[in-house]
Amino acid sequence: MKDYFIDINRELVKQKITELYGVDLAKEYERQIIEHEIYVHDETSLKPYCASISMYPFLLSGLTQLGGESQAPKHLESFCGSFVNLVFAISAQFAGAIATVEFLMYFDYFARKDFGDDYLTEHKHAIENHLQHVVYALNQPAAARGYQSVFWNISLYDQYYFEAMFGQFVFPDFTPPDWHSLKQLQVFS
């Protein structure tokens, strides 16, 4: 089906270029694609391509601001389940990757909240299960993405980049993130 979607979407773009700027520019657009003078990211969809989202509104309101029913997560299990729904809801609006750069930091916050600071040693199996749940769920085909799985990006930090990004950050309960705990989770993951 990809070939058909590419043909249809390229024709739609050419029609819009013709409407706005004339047929000559529309023909030139197609010629430049065929001759590889310009690169088109993925013509199988006319949706915007990639996005990096802040997950902070999700911490405050869950999925309610996106039309969902889930309130703000309170525990690691509800964070993981609602997070999967968040990524699917956002990714349905984009053709490319969705980056959730705070994922591991938020995961660490909820893991420490539920299991204590030594969660990686005292609750290793539960942590593995929660991480596996998220990865497995996000790798399922999605109808809203042409039956492809979500293309998902997360971030890993060194201490300096983490401090530059999140040095003044606090969670809704005013708890700051814990670099050393996050570092251990990054290694564990």
pLDDT of amino acid 47? 66
DSSP the chain: -HHHHHHHHHHHHHHHHHHHH-HHHHHHHHHHHHTTSS--S-TT--S---EE---HHHHHHTTGGGT-------SHHHHHHHHHHHHHHHHTT-SS-EE-TTHHHHHHHHHHHHH-TTHHHHSHHHHHHHHHHHHHHHTS-BGGGTTB---EE-----HHHHHHHHTT---TTSPPP-HHHHHHHHHH-
pTM of the predicted protein model:
0.78
pLDDT of amino acid 44? 64
Reading the chain (189 residues) residue by residue, the pLDDT tens digits are: 778 888 888 899 999 999 999 999 999 999 998 898 887 766 766 666 678 989 999 999 999 988 888 899 999 999 999 999 999 888 888 877 889 999 999 999 999 999 999 999 999 999 999 999 999 999 888 766 677 778 898 999 999 999 999 999 999 999 999 999 999 999 998
Per-domain boundaries in the chain: 2-34, 51-188
pLDDT of amino acid 46? 63
